[in-house]
């Protein structure tokens, strides 16, 4: 039976999935590439003619070269430390099941979506003066930066490696029985080579996050430590040196684009593994050494990821060394009639409004992008996938400050005069959440057997019917997970929001930043209190993600 063609195919001879690819492409052209190109044009042609003065300012400056070197150095060391922390934990979580495992995974995941201002507040509460963590103080900013990067990215590394390692357990056991190898030989000769794509993908992704880190460096590093990202902000916002800021942005975007291309190639290699092995191969820890390993991982995750968050909550509930709700009550008061006062209900209301709108935009464009990439994989040419997949990941590694600044200076005149529009913030948030949606949906789409959709097509089903009756039911959990990712990421987004938010449309991270920027114990306590509220909302979001997300779909 011949397949029925859609009206679009009949009239324009275009496959619907190719047409779907136009949606994210246009979205990126309008709200990603156009703002960035606007920065470059206004910077490189400041007075109507081209100028390359910024080249000398970078390559002839010892300070700039040190900044570039430190950016690479700290990202590499942060990635290595994250791998050292995550690999043993991934082994235990991929091999054993135990009571409270889902809770531990959720607790480990919360830091990744917290805004930098919350992390800074948490680390101050945990390791500052009168710190919560056994009175321990960390005065070296570099140590705080490295710890914060591990704190942020541990869950990314853990989830990617755990998801793929879990699918190998049955195969490893079978191979070991046939070859007669001991556990060490199995790990070196079988497990490690098979895990290499997943480990490589996780390391590349974490390196990108550390390479483009902004809030952590800016807040915890202070003036002594600066990266390319922090210098972009300094040159653009403080010194108004747009040519130099733009050139630094170009260096960053070019390098991270190459890294994203490498990352997507590793994820495609890792996608060959079976998707549903974890549930059937997990076992209860029986021997004493197994129980010790499980207990050690639980304690380690609690100390690494949860201690700073607990410290933040404790500080928000402590006033003059006694339990008190004074900081939470103060959120609803404006005794001084300050114009900087942000009613918390307004911040929460706008944060949720923007997050829902960003969710809708990111989910629609993300589904279209995933369908287009899968279609390129199977029907056109992998070269198209190799091009578009890393392009769609670019917002992950692009400076949120640069992106927000570009949106402000380009989308302020017809035909896209959105400078005063309330939709400017959710558009920026959708750009940030878009890659998370794609990475949640694309593996689920790729796991659908090609012969299943081909059979439906041969029976006369159109691409839209195939998507509705085959693809959509099979990726429904991935859709929910991607939607929640977009929602929680929007709630915590700060870099672009600080540029695009209006005074009358604050968000929770902006409120936290303003509280931290004002002196006094009361303002600091209110920052802790509203940060704790954001943490609770984020935790609920990840509980929902774990409910709808397949156990094996740990990949980022």
Q: What is the model's pLDDT at position 322?
A: 86
Asked whether residue 368 is domain-assigned, the answer is: yes
Q: What is the DSSP letter of 517?
A: T
Decide: 152 and 112 in contact? Cβ < 8 Å.
Answer: yes
Over range 343-370, report the average pLDDT.
87
* Mean pLDDT score, 184-190: 72
Q: Is residue 339 included in any domain, yes or no?
A: no
Cα separation, 135 vs 389, whole angstroms: 47
pLDDT for the residue numbered 77 = 96
Ramachandran region, residue 452 (left: φ > 0; alpha: ψ -120 to 50; beta: rest):
alpha
Residue 357 reports pLDDT greater than 80? yes
Domain contains 228: yes
* Structural domain boundaries enclosing 95: 20-47+82-253+263-332+352-548
Q: What is the DSSP string of 71-100?
A: HHHHHHHHHHHHHHHHHHHHHHHHHB--TT
> Among 135-139, 162-166, 552-556, whose mean pLDDT is lowest?
552-556
The per-residue pLDDT for range 436-470, each reduced to its tens digit, is: 899 888 888 888 887 787 777 777 777 778 878 88
Q: How confident is the model at residue 86 (pLDDT cuts 50, 70, 90)?
A: very high
pLDDT, average across residues 200-211: 90
Q: Does the pLDDT of residue 5 top 70, yes or no?
A: no
Closest by Cα among 325, 355, 291, 304 to 151:
304
Q: What pLDDT, on a 0 to 100 scale, did the predictor assign at position 238?
A: 76
| Residue 549 pLDDT grade (very low, low, confident, very high; cuts 50, 70, 90) | low
pLDDT for the residue numbered 432: 87
Question: Which segment of 198-212, 244-258, 357-371 scores lowest on mean pLDDT?
Answer: 244-258
Which of 333-342, 358-367, 377-386, 472-481 is most confident? 358-367
Quick check: 447 and 267 in contact, CB under 8 A? no
Q: Please count the residues of the chain.
A: 556
Q: Of the given ranges (11-15, 111-115, 442-446), which has the lowest mean pLDDT? A: 11-15
Mean pLDDT of the 33-56 span = 76
DSSP 113: G
Task: Give domain status of residue 148, yes or no.
Answer: yes
- Distance of CA 329 to CAs 311, 332, 505, 525, Å? 19, 6, 22, 11
Q: Burial level of 50, CB count in 10 A (0-12/13-18/19+)?
A: exposed
Structural domain includes residue 150: yes
Averaged pLDDT for residues 287-303: 89
Which tens digit of pLDDT belongs to each residue from 320-329? 878 888 888 8
Q: Let me know if 26 is exposed, middle or buried by CB neighbors in 10 A (0-12, 13-18, 19+).
A: exposed
Determine the pLDDT at residue 430.
92
**556 has a pLDDT exceeding 70:** no
Confidence of residue 129 (pLDDT cuts 50, 70, 90): low
- Does residue 274 surpass a pLDDT of 50? no
Question: Which structure tokens are listed for 141?
Answer: 């900013």
pLDDT for residue 123: 78
Strands 416-417 and 318-319, by their bridges, are unpaired
Q: What phi and psi, each to the nearest 5 degrees, are found at residue 51?
A: -140, 135
- The whole-angstrom separation of Cα 116 and Cα 217 is 9
Q: What is the mean pLDDT of residues 43-59?
A: 73
* Peptide bond just before 415 cis, omega within 30 deg: yes
**Domain count for the chain:** 1
Task: Compute how many other C-beta atoms are within 10 angstroms of the C-beta atom of residue 170.
Answer: 14
In-domain check, residue 241: yes
Report the Cα 394 to chain-centroid distance in Å.
Answer: 12
The CATH number for 104's domain is 1.10.3720.10
* Per-residue pLDDT at 400: 75
Q: What is the mean pLDDT of the chain?
A: 78
pLDDT bucket at 548, cuts 50 / 70 / 90: low
20 and 371 Cβ atoms separated by less than 8 Å = yes
Question: Who wins on pLDDT, 428 or 17?
Answer: 428
Mean pLDDT across the stretch 410-428?
81
Q: What is the pLDDT of residues 215-233, one digit of tens each?
A: 788 777 777 788 888 888 7
pLDDT classification of 73: cutoffs 50, 70, 90 = very high
What is the rounded average pLDDT of the residues 528-552?
Answer: 71
> Does residue 553 form part of some domain?
no
At residue 74, does pLDDT exceed 90?
Answer: yes
Reported confidence tier of residue 277, pLDDT bands at 50, 70, 90 = very low
Average pLDDT score over residue span 7-17: 58
Average pLDDT over residues 349-362: 91
Residue 310: pLDDT over 50: yes
- With CA atoms as reference, report the closest residue to 76 among 251, 218, 211, 262: 211
In a domain, 184, yes or no: yes
């Amino acid at each position: 039976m011949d397949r029925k063609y859609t009206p679009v195919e009949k009239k324009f001879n275009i496959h619907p999935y190719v047409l779907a690819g136009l949606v994210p492409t246009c979205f990126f052209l309008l709200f990603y590439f156009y703002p960035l190109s606007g920065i470059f044009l206004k910077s490189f042609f400041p007075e109507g003619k081209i100028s390359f003065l910024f080249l000398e300012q970078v390559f002839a400056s010892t300070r700039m070269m040190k900044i570039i070197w430190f950016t690479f150095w700290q990202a590499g060391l942060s990635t290595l430390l994250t791998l050292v922390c995550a690999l043993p934990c991934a082994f235990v979580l991929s091999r054993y099941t135990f009571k409270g495992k889902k809770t531990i995974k959720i607790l480990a995941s919360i830091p990744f979506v917290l805004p930098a201002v919350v992390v800074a507040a948490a680390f101050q509460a945990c390791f500052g003066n009168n710190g919560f963590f056994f009175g321990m103080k960390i005065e070296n900013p570099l140590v705080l930066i490295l710890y914060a990067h591990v704190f942020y990215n541990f869950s990314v590394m853990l989830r990617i490696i755990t998801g793929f390692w879990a699918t190998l357990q049955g195969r490893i056991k079978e191979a070991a029985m046939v070859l007669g190898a001991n556990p060490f030989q199995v790990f070196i000769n079988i497990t490690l080579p098979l895990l290499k794509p997943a480990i490589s993908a996780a390391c590349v992704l974490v390196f990108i996050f550390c390479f483009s880190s902004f809030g952590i460096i800016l807040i915890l590093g202070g003036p002594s430590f600066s990266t390319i990202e922090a210098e972009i902000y300094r040159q653009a916002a403080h010194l108004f040196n747009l040519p130099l800021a733009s050139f630094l942005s170009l260096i960053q975007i070019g390098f991270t684009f190459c890294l994203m291309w490498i990352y997507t190639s590793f994820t495609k290699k890792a996608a060959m593994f079976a998707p549903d092995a974890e549930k059937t191969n997990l076992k209860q820890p029986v021997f004493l050494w197994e129980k010790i390993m499980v207990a050690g991982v639980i304690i380690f995750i609690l100390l690494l990821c949860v201690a700073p968050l607990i410290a933040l909550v404790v500080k928000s509930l402590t006033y003059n060394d006694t339990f008190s709700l004074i900081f939470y009550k103060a959120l609803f008061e404006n005794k001084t009639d300050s114009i900087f006062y942000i009613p918390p209900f307004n911040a929460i209301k706008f944060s949720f409004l923007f997050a829902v709108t960003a969710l809708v935009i990111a989910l629609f464009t993300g589904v279209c992008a995933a369908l287009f990439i899968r279609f390129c994989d199977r029907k056109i040419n992998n070269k198209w996938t190799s091009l578009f997949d890393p392009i769609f990941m670019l917002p992950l590694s692009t400076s949120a400050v640069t992106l927000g600044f570009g949106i402000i200076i380009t989308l302020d005149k017809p035909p896209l005069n959105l400078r005063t529009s309330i939709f400017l913030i959710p558009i920026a948030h959708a750009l940030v959440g878009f890659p998370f949606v794609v990475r949640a949906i694309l593996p689920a789409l790729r796991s659908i057997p090609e012969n299943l959709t081909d059979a439906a097509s041969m029976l006369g089903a159109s691409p839209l019917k195939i998507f509705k009756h085959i693809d959509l039911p099979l990726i429904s959990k991935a859709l929910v997970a991607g939607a929640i990712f977009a929602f929680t990421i929007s709630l915590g987004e700060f870099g672009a929001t600080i540029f695009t938010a209006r005074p009358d449309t604050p968000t929770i991270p902006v409120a936290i930043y303003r509280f931290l920027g004002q002196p006094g114990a009361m303002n600091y306590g209110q920052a802790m209190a509203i940060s704790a509220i954001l943490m609770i909302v984020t935790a609920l979001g990840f509980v929902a993600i774990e409910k709808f997300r397949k156990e094996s779909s740990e990949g980022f």
